[in-house]
Structure 1
Amino acid sequence: MTDNPHHHKTPSGKPRARSFGIGFDGTPGPFNAITDVAGVSVGYSTLISGDGPLVVGQGPVRTGVTAILPRPQADLATPVFAGIFSQNGNGELTGSHIVEETGAFNFPITVTNTHSCGVSRDGTLRWMSQVLPAALDSGWGLPVAAETYDGFLNDINGHHVTSGHVAEALDGAASGPIEEGSVGGGTGMIAFGFKAGSGTASRITEWQGRAYTVGAFVQANFGKRRNFTLRGLRAGLELVEPAIREGTPRAEKGSIIAVIATDAPFLPHQMKRLARRVPLGVAMTGGFGYHSSGDIFLAFSTANPDAALAPPGRIARAEFIPDSDIDPFFDAVVQGVEEAVLNAMVANEDMTGRDGNFVPALPKAWLEEKFG
């Protein structure tokens, strides 16, 4: 447990998992967020409007965009070493091919709903051409944009996310404590039959007398209720109610996007190794990577900027922690992802969307009874 208020409440006062006395492994950073990694910032654009029957193009709308800036705005053209891992590829993360090819990417990351992924990608390029035009003067941009499906609550075929909303999320990106739950791209998302969405956590890992930060951010939209596990408790077996209520029958469509950030010096193959550990954190909450779930994970390091942007014509040099010392960082990824998923669920409320489709929040009274 910790007395840090940022560990217990979001900036708007919503509870986080630790506020109910739930204990976690590892040591969180000051904000217990991906923004504990210096230079990383997060912004949201949240779209909530309308009620009642679905009218495509009009609503109801329950969606948004999340922006994650891996470096300060002025440095966004400088690549970060990175790796990706797809546990189950029933989803999309643009820019994945160049990450696989070069072990790096630049520009912001955006996360939104499935049918707005292209808009968020293109909106990022439009925004970059305005705020940092030199980054596109002599080359092309291949930004990272990811998605999960929110069509149970949202008019997903109405295409309500615009490049203006993408710019709003990017312009609003800030460091420090960040909101969680039904915000940004996570607005219309569901996990284990409970309202979920955006969640984050961080861990401090020491190596050779120096403290490094590993931050996790998830857009959680996955899992069957029967599998839900909270710190080893098979909670789904006793949480049959409150249940989802369907005005329109729901197809099983769920995914999770996770972004791991660290200031530890690692090479691209090591970032891929960190990304491969994300599913272990997801599994600790009961996520098993079912067929329809796009479980796609990105990890990046803000270290070694000179090597990541190495000019041609001379030898480039990068520092890195040896593979033989990487295990504590694997711990940090697993611990951070587990807590980020639970934060996305706890910092939430009931939501009714299109056609009266209703998704309950994880019951706070039950959390108090079990952990308070």
Structure 2
Amino acid sequence: MTRLSVWTAALLLAATAAHAQSGAERPRARDVGVVVGILPPGPLDAITDVAGVRVGHATVVEGDSVRTGVTALLPHGGNVYREPVPAAIVVGNGYGKLLGVTQVRELGEIETPILLTCTLCVWTAADALVDLLLAAPGMEEVRSINPVVGETNDGFLNDIRRRPIRPEHVAEALAAASGGAVAEGAVGAGTGTVAFGWKGGIGTSSRAVPPALGGGTVGVLVQSNFGGVLTVNGAPVGRELGPFAFQSGLGESADGSIMIVVATDAALDARLLERLASRALAGLARTGASLTNGSGDYVIAFSTARSGEPLVPNSAMSPLFQAVAEATEEAVYNSLFRATTVAGHRGTVEALPLDRVLEVLDAYGVRGWDRSLPPGGDR
């Protein structure tokens, strides 16, 4: 492997400095020349590029052993119970605790905000969400509600048996939900997560399908907490950096979980959203994940399109499939690139060493180029 080039070092320094000035500590993947796929991102390269979608975090750090949080996603700014959105859920591997799945599958819609949190906090978060929704104006006669709450196990950095999430944390995440740029890395539900043996967290990305290919925006947000052998833009980063899963023993650093939330403004019903959600797993696989035995891998997809819009035909779905695969892949990278080193309950998890990662990417020639289609779709 060659030494870090002057160009590489300068680019990383500039990107890091720019983010430091904005209050962030580490760059996103695209900031340092990691361009994923061929479709252009939305203006924010985030799930909030889908109009109306809002994201909020509550980060919970207490003493030296609590490192967890809540991330809330709202499909729109209204009452989601009164204005549910078409939705689907795909299970890549069912080793997890995703609440609300059967009603979403039965009715093909989501009627609450989506919450992400830690494994043993799912029920507390769901109970708090239900309390808040039932107390809202216009909900006085509601006697059934289906909260959708997903999780990953952050039990290395977080003393998960304390079940530290409280109702006020759910309220904080919901109150903080907004459009615009989304905080990534060790924040919210990603505060205590680990991915590929490095610090994982929250990551997001988006793709704008050019009008010539049918149009529409697809946004993805991930809570990364899984294992495997990290691949970045096709380069074998995990193999080069080591250690990696299975290197010393079967299952080592391989199990974990990921929650993937997909939003789109394309007019898709539950059946089409299920097709879209399944393609997010293609993007996950490109990062080096193998959906191991103890990994809970779930995709929740919803559409914000107005009721009555003509549905996208099956024959026009392929560009959206490409979009969701690319956005999922980049969202995972952003969750790693933006995450910082965290010390917690059972030890310390180091942030992905970006200088070494960029050396690998340059050695394999997968950085610093962009052949994305223009937004209008014309070459």
Letter in 2 for 1:367: V
Deviation at 1:49, TM superposition (A): 2.5
Residue from 332, 335, 358 that aligns with 2:348: 358
Aligned residue number for residue 148 of structure 2: 144
Letter in 2 for 1:232: G
Q: Is the 8 A contact 1:39 1:71 kept in 2?
A: yes
Deviation at 1:261, TM superposition (A): 0.2
Structure 1 residue 105 corresponds to structure 2 residue 95: no
Mapped partners of 2:357, 2:140: distance in 1 = 49
Structure 1 residue matching 2:73: 3-state secondary structure: strand
Mapped partners of 1:134, 1:327: distance in 2 = 40
Mapped partners of 1:85, 1:242: distance in 2 = 27
Structure 1 residue 196 corresponds to structure 2 residue 200: yes
Q: Is the 8 A contact 1:83 1:300 kept in 2?
A: yes
Residue from 28, 31, 46 that aligns with 2:44: 31
Query: What are the superposed Cα offsets for residues 236-293 of structure 1, whole Å, 9 maximum, x if unpaired?
Result: 11112699xxxxxx98640001000001101110000011111111100001000000
Equivalence map 1:244-259=2 (5 Å): 253-259=255-261
Aligned residue number for residue 87 of structure 1: 92
Structure 1 residue 122 corresponds to structure 2 residue 134: no
Letter in 2 for 1:219: Q
The 1:318–1:102 alpha-carbon spacing in structure 2 relative to 1, beyond 3 Å, is farther
Residue from 230, 233, 253 that aligns with 2:232: 230
Aligned residue number for residue 101 of structure 2: 96
Letter in 1 for 2:295: S
Q: Is the 8 A contact 2:60 2:66 kept in 1?
A: yes
Aligned residue number for residue 248 of structure 2: none
TM norm structure 1? 0.86
Residue from 52, 64, 67 that aligns with 1:62: 67
Which aligned runs of 4 or more in structure 1 are off by greater than 6 angstroms? none
Structure 2 residue matching 1:68: 3-state secondary structure: strand
The 1:126–1:223 alpha-carbon spacing in structure 2 relative to 1, beyond 3 Å, is same
Residue from 299, 311, 322 that aligns with 1:320: 311
Letter in 1 for 2:29: A
Query: What are the superposed Cα offsets for residues 140-188 of structure 1, whole Å, 9 maximum, x if unpaired?
Result: 1101000000001101011110011000000110100010000001110
The 1:327–1:19 alpha-carbon spacing in structure 2 relative to 1, beyond 3 Å, is same
Structure 1 residue matching 2:177: 3-state secondary structure: coil
Query: What are the superposed Cα offsets for residues 283-323 of structure 1, whole Å, 9 maximum, x if unpaired?
Result: 00001000000001111001134xxxxxxxxxxx5520101
Mapped partners of 1:351, 1:209: distance in 2 = 43
Q: Is the 8 A contact 1:242 1:360 kept in 2?
A: no
Query: What are the superposed Cα offsets for residues 95-142 of structure 1, whole Å, 9 maximum, x if unpaired?
Result: 110111011111100000000011111111112123x33245234110
Residue from 308, 323, 336 that aligns with 1:345: 336
Q: Is the 8 A contact 1:41 1:72 kept in 2?
A: yes
Letter in 2 for 1:326: M
Q: Is the 8 A contact 1:9 1:16 kept in 2?
A: no
Letter in 2 for 1:365: D
Structure 1 residue 22 corresponds to structure 2 residue 34: yes
Letter in 1 for 2:256: G
Q: Is the 8 A contact 2:226 2:254 kept in 1?
A: no
Gaps of 5+ in 2: 1-14, 246-251, 369-379
Q: How many residues align?
A: 337
The 1:209–1:258 alpha-carbon spacing in structure 2 relative to 1, beyond 3 Å, is closer
Aligned residue number for residue 41 of structure 1: 54
The 1:136–1:68 alpha-carbon spacing in structure 2 relative to 1, beyond 3 Å, is farther
Equivalence map 1:141-220=2 (5 Å): 141-207=145-211, 211-220=215-224
Mapped partners of 2:243, 2:320: distance in 1 = 37
Letter in 2 for 1:358: T
The 1:115–1:324 alpha-carbon spacing in structure 2 relative to 1, beyond 3 Å, is same
Q: Is the 8 A contact 1:20 1:367 kept in 2?
A: no
Mapped partners of 1:352, 1:241: distance in 2 = 19
Q: Is the 8 A contact 1:256 1:294 kept in 2?
A: yes
TM norm structure 2? 0.84
Aligned residue number for residue 269 of structure 1: 271
Mapped partners of 1:234, 1:43: distance in 2 = 33
Identity of aligned residues (%): 41
Q: Is the 8 A contact 1:204 1:332 kept in 2?
A: yes
Residue from 256, 263, 288 that aligns with 1:286: 288
Mapped partners of 2:218, 2:121: distance in 1 = 29
Mapped partners of 2:140, 2:191: distance in 1 = 31
Gaps of 5+ in 1: 52-59, 244-249, 306-316
Mapped partners of 2:177, 2:81: distance in 1 = 13
Q: Which moved more, 1:183-192 or 1:9-18?
A: 9-18
Deviation at 1:204, TM superposition (A): 0.3
